[in-house]
Structure 1
Amino acid sequence: MTSTTQSTDKPLTGRIALVAGATRGAGRAIAVQLGAAGATVYVTGRTTRTKVSEVGRDTETIEETAELVTAAGGEGVAVPTDHLEREQVAALVARIDRERGRLDVLVNDVWGGEHLVEFGTKMWDVDLDAGLRMLELGVKTHLITAHAALPLLIRNPGGLVVEVTDGTAAYNTRFRNTVFYDLAKNAPIRLAFGLGHDLADAGCTAVALTPGFLRSEQMLDHFGVREENWRDAIAKVPDFVISESPVFVGRAVAALAADPGRARWNKQSLSSGQLAKEYGFDDADGSRPDAFGFIVALETGKPDPADYR
């Protein structure tokens, strides 16, 4: 991606980022794109080459993410971390402080609750343990991480916090799957709003950011396709026509981090498609999908997907 605000192709050289939840999907791509822009990126998660998390996937690890960050042109540092464990998160932040003395970008992308997602189940019919676990993974982790990392981030003005979620504030006026999922994915939006209030005096910015219909590794596996032939899944799920690769949201975060005027976004809920229009970046295939625009248009008609790419 070419920065629209600086002449160098490494606008984040010297910047230190923490991507919490960078094992796969959006988190991995965000870490890699920050690295491509020159940042040093600490990547965390529970799946390593010697240990697998409850998600049950051993095909993606934080070590591999760190290597991809370095290969992209940055410096990747893998730190195994369970973000529900306060001591581990505190140790992570202390390590960043000890090794770098600063933190410029915090991306809160911890999730890992896909295996708990249900559709159309009444609140009282959801397994309570599963529902509460979803809130732990998608909300409590974010609170613990922000609480530990923000004292380091606010040492220098210009810091950026990105709360990654599913859906914009405008789109999420619609009910999202179940009460527990709805809470888990709306909470980061309100968290970004609250953090933006608290961070403003320190000259820092907080936003919520959502990808569109994300072609994560798990999603591709679910539909039995790979990135190279993802369009084969459209026959099963027509909405997949507007999907985007994780690279797209990764470029969105890198563009935000490189923008000296990013404070104008403070407290806002943003999407990768929205920021692509603002900053002029494309997805890996050269398209510029507007997933939420397309999905909303589907509610009242039969839009042409070509008009939203």
Structure 2
Amino acid sequence: MTEKTLLGQIALVSGATRGGGRGIAVQLGAAGATVYVTGRSTAVSRSPMNRPETIEETAELVTAAGGHGIAVPTDHLDIAGVGELVARIDREQDGRLDILVNNVWGGDPLTVWDKPLWEQSLEDGLLLQRQAVHTHIITSWHALPLLVTRRRGLVVEVTDGTAEQDYRGTFFYDLAKAGVIRMAQAQAGDLRPHGVTAVALTPGFLRSEAMLDHFGVTEDTWRDGIAKDSYFAMSETPVYLGRAVAALAADPQVDRWSGRSLATWQLAKEYGFTDADGSRPDWGGYFAATQRDSGVAPEDYR
């Protein structure tokens, strides 16, 4: 049984319908937190992503894990709607919010990998920035005063890659992911005097529901996907990302990470947690090794 290190704490996880957001919400719940889970896909309406997962399902999983899940349908580009969400948390939790996770993405259908900037749709590229970056800004603007008032708390900006990473291969995607990292650094600068920590956090090769579908596998048969992409051997489940956030939130000295760009494989070594299967995937170490030697064995990095 997971130790209830976050019992009594209140979290908001935006973009918690599926994937990393769901993994984070459930693991915060497993540690005892009350988790507000938000997104656009509900039991009665799908988002433009047109996926079957819903925020109600995520909330149920949070509660089943040992926490208290509260589903709140929210479009994080709707400034007034996000304000209402935070006002509800303020009202229901007596002004308490301990953990804010900005995880909204929604950019997969808008990302083009095989064209330079000037050959891509400007409309789609700007929409990607709004969905993947502006949503985070809007949510932080509304939510941060709750953390500042209590002079404690954690903000996690979920991204892809670390601050040291080179160009991600396509302009608008790179701009969004790098922008979120910089956003964590900037928030850390504003929040540090108020006792609140902000970090950016990346998973490795995330084995989300959409990624499993992409490879035509299930979580039970995921290794069959390695034949299509050898790097899939080092993939990790959303549980790994969730445990990274839960470990940060439970760390009484989390402020040592303030403004940093962090990774699941780095924090797994620091805090000692594992993925759902008990392994400890080191995506960063494995990828770097494959750039030097084509004969690297994945099992040496799990």
For 1:161, the equivalent position in structure 2 comes to 155
| Matching of residues 274-285 of structure 1 within 5 Å | 274-285=266-277
Q: Which amino acid aligns with 1:208?
A: A
Deviation at 1:119, TM superposition (A): 1.3
Shift of the alpha carbon at 1:113?
1.1
- Distance (Å, rounded) in 1 between the aligned partners of 2:50 and 2:92: 32
Q: Which residue of 2 aligns with 1:45?
A: 39
1:158 Cα offset (Å):
2.5
> 1:289 aligns to what SS in structure 2?
coil
Aligned residues of 1:139 and 1:188 also touching (Cα < 8 A): yes
- Structure 2 CA distance, aligned partners of 1:18 and 1:131? 27
1:177 is displaced (CA, Å) by 2.4
Residue 5 of structure 1: aligned partner: none
Instruction: Confirm whether residue 96 of structure 1 aligns to residue 117 of structure 2.
Output: no
Tell me how far apart the structure 1 counterparts of residues 262 and 19 of structure 2 sit (CA, whole Å). Answer: 18
Residues 3-61 of structure 1: per-residue CA shift (max 9 Å, x gap): xxxxxx1011110000011000000010000000000000000000111111111x200
Equivalent residues of 1:135, 1:180 under 8 A apart: yes
Q: Give yes or no for the alignment of 1:70 onto 2:60.
A: no
Q: Matches of 2:290 and 2:114 in 1, distance apart?
A: 20
Q: 2:79 aligns with which of 63, 76, 86?
A: 86
Give how far 1:308 is off: 1.2
Deviation at 1:208, TM superposition (A): 0.1
Aligned partner of 2:226 in structure 1 is: 234
Q: Provide the alpha-carbon RMSD of the alignment.
A: 0.9
**Structure-2 residue corresponding to 1:184:** 176
Normalising by structure 1, we get a TM-score of 0.95
**Residue 133 in 1 paired to residue 130 in 2?**
no
Unaligned runs of 5+ in 1: 3-8
TM-score by length of 2: 0.98
What does residue 262 of structure 1 align with?
254
Q: Distance in 1 between matches of 2:170 and 2:198?
A: 27
**Which of residues 170, 190, 196 in structure 1 aligns to 2:188?**
196
User: Which residue among 13, 23, 28 is the counterpart of 2:22?
Assistant: 28
Distance 2:115 2:142 in 1: 35
Q: 2:9 aligns with which of 15, 20, 27?
A: 15
Q: CA deviation at 1:120?
A: 2.9
1:60 to 48, 53, 67: 53
Structure 1 window deviating more from structure 2 (111-120 vs 212-221): it is 111-120
Which ranges of 4 or more aligned residues in structure 1 deviate by more than 3 Å?
A: none
2:285 to 261, 278, 293: 293
AA partner of residue 272 (structure 2): G
How many residue pairs were aligned? 300
Q: Is the 8 A contact 1:55 1:113 kept in 2?
A: no
Contact 1:118 / 1:177 at 8 angstroms: preserved in 2? Answer: no
Q: Which stretch shifts more, 240-249 or 113-122?
A: 113-122
| CA apart distance, 1:245 | 0.5
Deviation per residue, 1:235-284 (Å, 9 max, x gap): 00011010000100000000000110100000000001100000000000
Give the residue type in structure 1 aligned to 2:72: V
**Could you tell me how far apart the structure 1 residues matched to 2:169 and 2:58 are?**
30
- Once the two structures are superposed, residues 273-301 of structure 1 have per-residue CA deviations (whole angstroms, 9 ceiling, x without a partner) of 10000000000011100112211222221
One of 143, 148, 172 as aligned partner of 2:137: 143
Shift, 1:163, TM fit: 0.1
**The 10-residue stretch of structure 1 (120-129 or 280-289) with the greater mean CA deviation from structure 2:** 120-129
Contact 1:90 1:148 in 2 (8 A): yes
SS in 2 for 1:49: coil
